Amino acid sequence: MEKKSTYRLMISGGGTGGHIYPALAIANTWMELHPGSEILFVGAIGKMEMQKVPEAGYKIVGLPVAGLQRSLSKENLSFPIKLLKSIRQASKIIKDFMPDVVIGVGGYASGPVLYMAQRKGIPTLIQEQNSYAGLTNKLLSKKALKICVAYPDMEKFFPAEKIVYTGNPVRKDILELAGKREKALSHFGLEEGRKTVLILGGSLGARTLNQAVLKDINALNENYQVLWQCGKFYFKDMLQSLDGKGYNHIHLREFIRKMDLAYAAADVVVSRAGALSVSELSLVAKPVIFIPSPNVAEDHQTKNAMAYVQHDAAVLLKDADAVGALKDNLDQLLGDEERCIQLGKNLHALAKPNAANEICGEILRLVG
């Protein structure tokens, strides 16, 4: 059968940057390979994809679906109603758009959309970012045709014959850091010759990382320069904590948009271990201290980090130990140049730079 030149793709999911940015990387790569195709995103009303996807130039529709709260909550009483309504709406969206294939990237919206696509006989593909698969993807995998994973040994979650080890797709600017250091230092107002520590707690922020910086802030300001993404939830409080204190080498940001420049400027990175962060950092190939969040399903951030630590490709600092131990870990790491170089090399050896193209290849095989 002759392959078409244009296609109709539906991409569902979101909720966090770890789901949204891989989805956008897939969409951008697909449009480069197959210009003229149509892509429709389906997200959850009120979640960040409803803003980020239109900013990237794609159309998105929202479903009222929400997740179950782990604790007893009255919000859980409305869960079945929202789910059933979302399933009905997903059915109509699929009927109106008539996609050639539906891609699920995780997040609340992916469940109803892939469920209805599979019932209608439309090919579905799952992109699982984490080293520990969530319940929804495990259920959907039974009828999905392909499952693109970011970690090896995922057969314990998915049918082995459906798995393709592609890695996580990342933004293209992350792949092109060479020669950007001087521009990066200028962009953030950083000094040449002073070690740069990049602190990343995600777009919303991470309380432990912020508290760890504040605990050691005098020493950090004296010995290094810190580019610190504290997150939107904590920005005002962190700004107030620094106000008038004369911390000239602490560069606070609510959110860093030019992540390629932030990575280019960094000598070491301190980060949570969300799936996208781990995949990006493997391409950046800088020494990394992972502080996994303990407040995620199945402790999957620790599992993400350990997949690299066991290859001597990163340092693990437990969340419970981070406040009060951050400076010592930085001093130890940055005081050993050979160790930094080796960590960067080991990390880069685990990178999958062609993930988006490989996933698009799998999509094409499904619809072609």
Domain(s) labelled CATH 3.40.50.2000 in the chain stretch across: 8-168+353-367, 173-349
Whether 276 has a binding-site annotation, put simply, is: yes
In b/e form, how buried is each residue of 47-67, taking b as 16+ CB within 10 angstroms? bbbbebbeebebebbbbbbbb
As given in the structure block, the two tokens for residue 30 are 């697909």
What pLDDT is stored for residue 1 in this prediction?
45
Instruction: Answer yes or no: are the C-beta atoms of 268 and 324 closer than 8 Å.
Output: no
What pLDDT is stored for residue 81 in this prediction?
87
Whether 334 has a binding-site annotation, put simply, is: no
Whether 124 has a binding-site annotation, put simply, is: no
Whether 279 has a binding-site annotation, put simply, is: yes
Whether 17 has a binding-site annotation, put simply, is: yes
Instruction: Answer yes or no: are the C-beta atoms of 350 and 278 closer than 8 Å.
Output: no
Whether 90 has a binding-site annotation, put simply, is: no
Whether 171 has a binding-site annotation, put simply, is: yes
Instruction: Answer yes or no: are the C-beta atoms of 289 and 201 closer than 8 Å.
Output: no
CATH number of 173-349: 3.40.50.2000, 3.40.50.880, 3.20.10.10, 3.40.50.2300? 3.40.50.2000
pLDDT digits (tens, 9 = 90+) for 13-56: 988 878 898 999 999 999 999 999 999 999 999 999 999 999 99
Whether 147 has a binding-site annotation, put simply, is: no
Within 8 A by CB and 6+ apart from 73, the residues are none
Burial tier of 306 (Cβ tally within 10 Å: 0-12, 13-18, 19+): middle
Whether 225 has a binding-site annotation, put simply, is: no
Whether 29 has a binding-site annotation, put simply, is: no
What is the SS3 assignment for 292? coil
The CA dihedral of 354, 359, 365, 368, to the nearest 10 degrees, is: -100
Q: Running DSSP on this structure, what letter comes out for residue 107? A: S
What pLDDT is stored for residue 298 in this prediction?
78
What pLDDT is stored for residue 55 in this prediction?
96
Instruction: Answer yes or no: are the C-beta atoms of 30 and 177 closer than 8 Å.
Output: no
Whether 280 has a binding-site annotation, put simply, is: yes
Whether 12 has a binding-site annotation, put simply, is: no
What pLDDT is stored for residue 292 in this prediction?
96
Whether 213 has a binding-site annotation, put simply, is: no
Point out the residues of the chain with pLDDT beneath 50.
1
Q: Per this entry, what is the length of the chain?
A: 368
- CATH code of the domain occupying 8-168+353-367: 3.40.50.2000
Whether 256 has a binding-site annotation, put simply, is: yes
Instruction: Answer yes or no: are the C-beta atoms of 13 and 104 closer than 8 Å.
Output: yes
pLDDT digits (tens, 9 = 90+) for 86-98: 999 999 999 999 9
CA separation for the pair 149, 170 (Å, rounded): 14
Name residue 126's beta-bridge partners: 104, 147
What pLDDT is stored for residue 44 in this prediction?
94
